[in-house]
Structure 1
Amino acid sequence: MKFSKWVLASAITLGLGGTIFTPANAASTDTSFDKVTDEEIGTVYGGWSEDTGYFTNSSLLERSISLLSTPNHSAERQWNEGTTLPYERIVATTTWDGVYHYSRARYENLFGNVEADSKRVYGTGKTKATSGWHSGGGSYAGKSYYGVD
């Protein structure tokens, strides 16, 4: 009887330990864009960042059977120099023949805060998203995205 209680207690302890301490329950540190599908951004096929430049999620492009053409994405920073404080904005343009898609331009910081967001601008063939004016610098970086839902 003592042996069966010990086995049962061990099994419960190991079972709970396995559930609590498994790597599947650990926080993910993967920051790649092939898993970005949050409601605010949408499914990201590619984009641009002031910090790292252009990126393309080639695994999504290769897996998609509905794409009719290859997307072309560009982004630029524009300045409003007519004021005492220089403000900047991001303009993102995506050309994707025959595909209903979106472009998006905004400023993000390391903590996930977003400012001057253009929201998703949808269209077929060509889309252009322009962020709001932003003071720039600090912890914020201009970013753009494109994709389909």
Structure 2
Amino acid sequence: MPITASAPAGGTIEQLGGESRPLVLRNGEIERFERQHNIGFFTVVESLFGKGDAPQVRHCRDLIALGLVGGGLPDRTADKIVDDLPPHENPRIRSMAMDLVGAIYLSEEDKKKDAELAGSSPKTGRKATTRKRKSKAQSLQD
């Protein structure tokens, strides 16, 4: 019987270290990040979503490690999992950091709507209609 893990409130589930792991950023982890990097969290959020300079790799990696801690792992275990990820994983780490930060702001109602939409058939766009255009000569006669 397959078991599907569901993301915790305000968090995500990611494949890290060969396992599905919950990642959650709570206020404690966010404040710890700000103290450690001497940078505001919202500055990092803006950089992740393209409204500022590109985020630094260490910021993305530390967000993931702190998300693992928020998800219940001890600090050293979380650090080891992230440290063991090779440099070619950095784009995926950035994507995970974006998902994790985005999950903070996604309400439970929004998650339910997204889940419902994911299970529904795709919406079809409006069909193009062709209108018969009047020539300038016809417009002047009317």
Q: Structure 2 length as normaliser, TM-score?
A: 0.23
By percentage of residues, which structure has more helix? Answer: 2
Hey, which of these two has a bigger chunk of strand by percent? 1
TM-score under structure 1 length normalisation: 0.22
